[in-house]
Amino acid sequence: MPGLGTSFGRGGATNYQQDLANSDCIVIEGSNMAECHPVGFQWVMEAKARGAKIIHIDPRFTRTSAVADLHVPIRAGADIAFLGGLINHVLDNDLYFKEYVVAYTNASALVNEEFQDTEDLDGLFSGYDPDKQHYDQKSWQYEPEEEPHSGHDDSAKAREQEEGSQHEDVKRTDQAQAAGSGGPPIAAKPKRDETLQHPRTVFQILKRHYSRYTPEMVAEVCGIEPQVFRTVADWVTSNSGRDRTTAWVYSVGWTQHTVGAQYIRTASILQTLLGNMGRPGGGIMALRGHASIQGSTDIPTLFNLLPGYLQMPNAIQHHSLDDFVAESQGVAGFWGNMRSYMVSLLKAWWGDAATAENDFCFDYLPRINGDHSSYRSIADMIEGKVKGYFLVGENPVIGHANGRMQRFGLANLEWLVVRDLQMIESASFWKDAAEIETGELVTDQIATEVFFLPAASHVEKEGTFTQTQRLLQWRHKAVEPPGDARSDLWFYFHLGRILRERLKDSTDPRDRPLLDLTWDYPTHGETADPSGEAVLREINGVGPDGRALSSYMELKDDGSTTSGCWIYCGVFADEVNQAARRKPGREQGPAALEWGWAWPLNRRLLYNRASADPDGKPWSERKKYVWWDEEAGKWDGIDVPDFEPKKRPDYVPPEGAKGPAALAGTDPFVMQSDGKAWLFAPKGLQDGPLPTHYEPAESPVKNGLYGVQANPTREQIDAPWNRTNPSSSSVFPFTFTTYRLTEHHTAGGMSRTLPYLAELQPEFFVEVSPELAEERGLEHGGWATIVSGRSAVEARVLVTERMRPMHVGGTVVHQIGVPYHWGSTGISTGDSGNDLTGVVMDPNVHIQESKAATCDIRPGRRPRGKALIEFMEDYRKRAGMESGLVPVGGRAPMDSVSGEAKPGRGPAAVQPGE
Amino acid sequence: MTSVSSASPAFTGKDPQNRLFGPLPDVTEEAGYEPDHPKRVGFFTDTSVCIGCKACEVACKEWNTLPMDDSHGTRDVIGLSGMSYDNTGQLGANSWRHVAFVEQSRVVDLPMPAVGLPGATRQDTGEPSPAGHAHQDDSLAEAQAHSVLNAEALSEFDPQTAQTGSDKQIRWLMSSDVCKHCTHAACLDVCPTGALFRTEYGTVVVQGDICNGCGYCVPACPYGVIDQRKDDGRVFKCTMCYDRLTDGLMPACATACPTQSIQFGDLDELQARADARLATLQSQGVETARLYGRDEDDGVGGAGAFFLLLDEPEVYGLPPDPVVTTRDLPAMWRAAATAAAMMVGVALSAVLGSRKR
Amino acid sequence: MKTWLDAWPVYRQLTGSDPLGRGKAARSEATESVVSRTATADRVVQSVCPYCAVGCGQKVFVKDEKVVQIEGDPDSPISRGRLCPKGSASKQLVTSPTRETKVRYRRPYGTEWEDLDLDTAMQMIADRVLDARRKGWQDEDGGRRVRRTMGIASLGGATLDNEENYLMKKLYSAMGAIQIENQARI
């Protein structure tokens, strides 16, 4: 997550779940932890039993709220205003941890004279280009202490690099996500004023920026009463400092917004000011929803990344390996060794074919130039640009925003491969899509050829999941998969093998990368299942002697080492599968260092150097964690120190030092190029160096803080199949938020199909307040139709006082809860909540805003067939929106993408009356 | 066969009633096990830490391979109950754990802070809002305008003393119910076939190979726990995972429970733990906390599965004062020896009958 | 005769220590032979729950090459043996009778699923990958070298193993496919 990555240097959760038990106060915001992570929640309950205060901030009163000390209802989409209010409270009342802030953050850094804040520009920062809808970030930079560093000796070349990084096509490539394990490189260390008084210090800018986030403003924007706000502020600040720590817990309730990365940034700033980072019981816990979702960003099946958060090379800047590493080459911190990580990756992939002479096959890598993320690819599918699609353990027709758009995408492919345990809607769309009923799709006119391949379950294959706290845990194989079911390892290995066989006589240079690929994994069993351990060992990497390496610090840039994912280097240390270690928790210390293996280098609590003061002594006995042992001349503690083990606290880097050596003994954020936690992000985020409250793209109210209504850099795709509701619309007056329930799993393929889970939450329902029920004539247990610009769905109604109308900006905002698990297959079926959500995205990470959008609700079931098209078109017309009609097959082109005009119209649309 | 009569040893002890009512120090030995039998085990369900996840329900069904829940014949197709997040409804032949969800709210009189932009007055909700809220009842609108939108801690919530005022507080109670494994188990006492029996762990279990589906136990249970499976005829209920106990494991529900709301162990230890937990909660001002089924002087001689509740038992769907339905059985038997003889006859024929299966 | 009599509950009841026949005397044959299937499993395999990212430890009990029980692993320092309802339903997940175990194929414009042999399916998919790769191939885009294909996209990874994600990314990159995504954005 770039919110954490740009703040601290790594994108992963900063702490581990068990450590929550050490917290004195836990704020769960943007997460429904008790419902979505019940077993992890035991640590919250443990903290509570030890006397910690538990606060749940959420639009709904949930099962988490039920056991919290305080539930604070907040209007969906207003968290930055709330957290900004807390920051203002902390700064205004001098409640920040001064020594920590001065020593470990960039509070004292001076920012460029040209920087202008949202205070000056009514909601915009300096550098905004209204035509391209993005920022030129040059004016956000630090005022440098020395001449800017460049990896290129040639200054013209350096300038070209810098220009390149501001190219709009580069910006759309999610560079911020590359801060997953290494903060954005900065050219030079900033000038500093440790008194924090200079008006251009980060500290003073921060103060000015948040000065308008008063308790009254928080009440106005969030619907949170000042006295409740004060209770939260008091609990949090009185439980932060030398002796006490507060933890923040978030999940997709924060990420799924058009300003999602900035939500996390706001919490990062607050937690940094309070001195809660890198300390036991503190931190920011990112709770992730899938077994290996952390793993799938570490070793990314993501368009913009290579393993270990190395960027996917882009066509504008990266013509060679030198270009690729130029920005980071030699910068302070561990990111400065990026060339070693990249060369080791290339060696792992192309083995002997990768030589210093051929740039280690750098040119074998395809280049990106813009947004190639999932939603954009779906839009391209609808336009017929994508031929084939693999769906591997995902059911986007239900689990992704705008189900109708997803189905149109699938219906316009040449072929589709689906790998899953059970039949899912994304495989059977050609016969059971909602659009078949409306006539927008016709089964025998859909050309998509579909291969459904049964997948092996988690007990039928060996391998590692990386769970939410960056911990890799090996699963042993228990039984063989049934019938044709195979592991995905099997599928990709054999697909690759067949492709290489087909091409073995090819002389086409484009086939070289496939043919030169290292692809000779040992297999076992009748089905020739490749060895997961062999792959894990390749991920770990080997040295010149062919032995597994034990640390990424051993990686070299001369081609003598390999590593398929440098941050995982060490998982196979000493030729032992460290992820398979299972020393019982009760037989080891609190960090349980011998259970599984966590990146980086088995550290469980990141930035733990900050748990000691600048001299290396624990801030307090109560919060002792890692400290400098003068006698032994090294760092010690109950965890692996997240610091060079022998770097003294009083170490000052010599003039001209590079890489890790350029970090001082008081720089705990070792992946940042200045070693500091970033209160202000001079680089790395597309939508501003400081989080600013913007309304969701679809909001029932006006932005109470600035003239700018919504994130000016949000990414939008406008097309008949993706219309955005106008804000403050009387046609779509209510806010809805999507979520999941304990009893189900995301898109439902692993829960709606199981009797014991299906019966526990058997039907699609929505939650409304008694006030809204009365206003709209909704009956408890009866049917309601919920409508957005995308579609209409029907659901049973739960009228509950757990939903509350919010008082915002002088009006009442009603919020509707929409769990999104249902679809047409399985035991428990129903309409899909994600048919309501639209695709409008955060510019940093292309995550859609499904946690706050607008809708209407009315009693009764929805129209069916053609009548539904008519019903929807009437809604859109009344709301002043463009038509949502599409031709049969759904192939309606995009009108625009984030302000870029898209010419041309497709064939005639299916009319309501047809 | 008249030996099972008022003259039998069962009714000639020091306290003839003791076997069917009142405290019983060693229910296991009473059931004929040697003095070195295992200690009596039980469940302590602490509802104050229940998060309503229903892991107990699923873990129970997985272990005991129970069918989906249509035990009452009322749900041919699964559907939403409308009872908060509870779609199980009640304990039954196919649901041996049941999590109840109770939503409560109350209004309280708290100070009303002024809300609005500095210098602006915005308490006037007279203006119609965009969604046409104008037709709202004035008092409701007024109440909403002043609402302090927080729900207070459990410890400060006491629905018995709800006050009038403009604020609303919410409490969501969750509680996992289960067979109580009573000290005096009416189901067991009325069972004519010996299908229900007391295990060496002091728990009460149905033996599927004996039960003939007569159903006498169903109305006998003061909690409405034991239930017949429609398509099978026999009765089913929680066994406290008798089979798992023989392997030194905890019951499936207690094993799974993420927050240790369901605790399994030796009953005396659990009782001590519960007493301590109650004292803690009460010292924190949770005056409504109470133990249910803990008191061995209650109508069932104390339960093997007991609870810490945050409200009256009725709120959770539990009978406030359960009494073993066989309390007066000895007197009845003394008055009707023939009836007793008949019961033995029934038992005999049932046993022989079940052998033929 | 003696044996038969011993097995007769009423006899045991009348002669033993359990005159009311509520305990020891009432034990049936099935009860006497009850055994936990955790005890009779051929092996127990340590695993990790496949649902959310908490990473709960699981113990998988296998008997006759079938999964007979999945429950929490008390050794795990994260979960301490506990599981949520989804984790508790894991055995049902992996032994579900509605799991697809055969390749299903829907031809273009087809109205029903058809059977297909796995090997044939693999060969057909390989054909289509090469074809789509060629159709979507770009050596340059906007005058800049990209050497990639826009003909192939992929979605999924968050539910898979690291090793699987690794092979996917490696293979896709080598074939030039870049539209590779997973749930991590969602």
B118 Cα to chain A: minimum distance (Å)? 7
**B53 contacts A759? CB cut-off 8 A:** no
CATH class name, domain B24-75+90-98+175-323: alpha beta
* Per-residue confidence (pLDDT) for residue B167, from 0 to 100: 54
Residues of C in contact with B348 (CB under 8 A): 10
Instruction: Give CA–CA dist A158/A161, Å, rounded.
Output: 5
Q: What does each C-alpha distance from C154 to A175, A297, A389, A618, C183 come to in angstroms?
A: 20, 15, 5, 48, 11
Residue of A165 and C96 predicted with greater confidence? C96
Give residue A544's identity as a one-letter amino acid code: P
CB-CB contact of C131 with C115 (8 Å)? no
Q: At what angle do helices A374-382 and A403-411 cross, to 10 degrees?
A: 50
**A380 contacts C45? CB cut-off 8 A:** no
- CB crowding A328-354: b at 16 or more within 10 Å, else e: bbbbbbbbbbbbbbbbbbbbbbbeebb
Nearest in space to A47 (alpha carbons), one of A282, A216, A374: A282
Nearest in space to A300 (alpha carbons), one of A381, A162, A180: A180
Q: Give the residue from B172, B175, B257, B260 with the most A CB atoms within 10 Å of its CB, the best one to mutate.
A: B172
Coil, strand or helix: which one is A819?
A: strand
Confidence tier at B235 by pLDDT (50, 70, 90): very high
Instruction: Give CA–CA dist B238/B182, Å, rounded.
Output: 12
* Per-residue confidence (pLDDT) for residue C162, from 0 to 100: 98
Which one of C27, C35, C89 has the shortest CB-CB distance to B58? C89
Confidence tier at B328 by pLDDT (50, 70, 90): low
Q: Give the residue from A45, A306, A415, A458 with the most C CB atoms within 10 Å of its CB, the best one to mutate.
A: A458
Q: What is the CATH number of domain C43-95?
A: 2.20.25.90
Confidence tier at A746 by pLDDT (50, 70, 90): very high
Tell me the mean pLDDT in the region A385-398. 97
**Which chain B residue has the Cα nearest residue A760?**
B87
CA atoms A879, A880, A885, A891: torsion sign: negative
**Where in chain B are all domains bearing CATH 3.30.70.20?**
24-75+90-98+175-323
Check pLDDT > 60 for residue B72.
no
**A499 contacts C126? CB cut-off 8 A:** yes
Which one of C108, C116, C137 has the shortest CB-CB distance to A510? C137
* Per-residue confidence (pLDDT) for residue A782, from 0 to 100: 97
B25 Cα to chain A: minimum distance (Å)? 33
As for the ipTM of the complex, it is: 0.95
Q: Give the residue from C5, C12, C20 with the most B CB atoms within 10 Å of its CB, the best one to mutate.
A: C20
Which one of C46, C137, C182 has the shortest CB-CB distance to A476? C46
C62 touches chain A (CB under 8 A): yes
**Which chain A residue has the Cα nearest residue B89?**
A760
**C70 contacts A303? CB cut-off 8 A:** no
Domain A2-142+191-286 annotated CATH 3.40.228.10: yes
**Where in chain A are all domains bearing CATH 3.40.228.10?**
2-142+191-286
Which residues lie below 8 Å from residue A131, measured CB to CB, with a gap of 6+? A899
**C69 contacts B243? CB cut-off 8 A:** no
Confidence tier at C17 by pLDDT (50, 70, 90): confident
Which residues lie below 8 Å from residue A501, measured CB to CB, with a gap of 6+? none
pLDDT for C135-154, tens place per residue? 999 999 999 999 999 999 99
Which one of B55, B105, B171 has the shortest CB-CB distance to A38? B55
Burial of C164 (0-12, 13-18, 19+ CB in 10 A): buried
B179 Cα to chain A: minimum distance (Å)? 20
CB-CB contact of A770 with B167 (8 Å)? no
Beta-carbon count within 10 A of B337 CB: 14
**B174 contacts A66? CB cut-off 8 A:** yes
E strand or H helix at A18, and its extent?
none
Tokens at A324, concatenated: 């690729």
Instruction: Give CA–CA dist B324/A841, Å, rounded.
Output: 63
Chain C 26-85, residues with CB within 8 Å of chain B CB atoms: 26-31, 34-39, 69-72, 81-85
**B252 contacts C83? CB cut-off 8 A:** no
CB-CB contact of C105 with C112 (8 Å)? no
Tokens at A22, concatenated: 């050490």
**B348 contacts C17? CB cut-off 8 A:** no
Q: Give the residue from C100, C119, C145 with the most A CB atoms within 10 Å of its CB, the best one to mutate.
A: C100
Nearest in space to A808 (alpha carbons), one of A880, A731, A727: A727
Which one of B78, B151, B260 has the shortest CB-CB distance to A65? B151
**B125 contacts A66? CB cut-off 8 A:** no
* Per-residue confidence (pLDDT) for residue A909, from 0 to 100: 64
Burial of A657 (0-12, 13-18, 19+ CB in 10 A): middle
E strand or H helix at B58, and its extent?
helix B55-64
pLDDT for B134-177, tens place per residue? 333 444 333 333 333 233 344 444 433 333 333 578 899 999 99
Which residues lie below 8 Å from residue A222, measured CB to CB, with a gap of 6+? A74, A75, A78, A79, A81, A82, A85, A806, A808
Check pLDDT > 80 for residue A866.
yes
Kindly state the percentage of chain B with pLDDT values over 70. Answer: 66
**C69 contacts B58? CB cut-off 8 A:** no
3-state helix, strand, coil in chain C (%, to 5): 35, 25, 40
Q: Give the residue from B62, B191, B245 with the most C CB atoms within 10 Å of its CB, the best one to mutate.
A: B62
Which residues lie below 8 Å from residue A94, measured CB to CB, with a gap of 6+? none
Strands A765-768 and A792-799 come out as parallel
B-C contacts at Cβ under 8 angstroms: 136
Strands A634-637 and A626-629 come out as antiparallel
A250 touches chain C (CB under 8 A): no
Instruction: Give CA–CA dist B42/B305, Å, rounded.
Output: 5
* Per-residue confidence (pLDDT) for residue B141, from 0 to 100: 39
C5 touches chain B (CB under 8 A): no
pLDDT for A304-341, tens place per residue? 999 999 999 999 999 999 999 988 776 778 888 999 99
Tell me the mean pLDDT in the region A203-231. 95
In which region does residue A810 sit, left (phi positive, over 0), alpha (psi from -120 to 50) or beta (all else)?
left
E strand or H helix at A391, and its extent?
strand A388-392
Q: In the complex, which subunits touch A with 3 or more CB pairs below 8 angstroms? A: B, C
CB-CB contact of A231 with A70 (8 Å)? yes
**Which chain B residue has the Cα nearest residue A742?**
B53
Tell me the mean pLDDT in the region B320-335. 72
* Per-residue confidence (pLDDT) for residue C183, from 0 to 100: 84
A493 touches chain C (CB under 8 A): yes
Instruction: Give CA–CA dist B345/B77, Å, rounded.
Output: 42
Phi, psi of A531 (to 5 degrees): -80, 120
Residues of A in contact with C180 (CB under 8 A): 301-303
Q: What is the DSSP letter of B183?
A: S
**Where in chain C are all domains bearing CATH 2.20.25.90?**
43-95
Which one of B80, B148, B258 has the shortest CB-CB distance to A225? B148
Give residue A6's identity as a one-letter amino acid code: T
Instruction: Give CA–CA dist C159/C165, Å, rounded.
Output: 10
Residue of A497 and A185 predicted with greater confidence? A497
CATH fold of A715-901: Barwin-like endoglucanases (2.40.40)
3-state helix, strand, coil in chain B (%, to 5): 30, 15, 50
Q: What does each C-alpha distance from B247 to A709, B27, C36, C154 come to in angstroms?
A: 64, 22, 6, 47
Residues of C in contact with B85 (CB under 8 A): none
Which one of A765, A812, A828 has the shortest CB-CB distance to B144? A812
pLDDT for A608-665, tens place per residue? 999 999 999 999 999 999 999 999 999 999 999 999 999 999 999 998 888 889 999 9
**Which chain C residue has the Cα nearest residue A587?**
C75
**B78 contacts A762? CB cut-off 8 A:** yes
Which one of B118, B147, B153 has the shortest CB-CB distance to A69? B153
**A42 contacts B258? CB cut-off 8 A:** yes
* Per-residue confidence (pLDDT) for residue B150, from 0 to 100: 30
Check pLDDT > 50 for residue A424.
yes
Confidence tier at B357 by pLDDT (50, 70, 90): very low
Instruction: Give CA–CA dist A212/A215, Å, rounded.
Output: 9
Residues of C in contact with B199 (CB under 8 A): 23
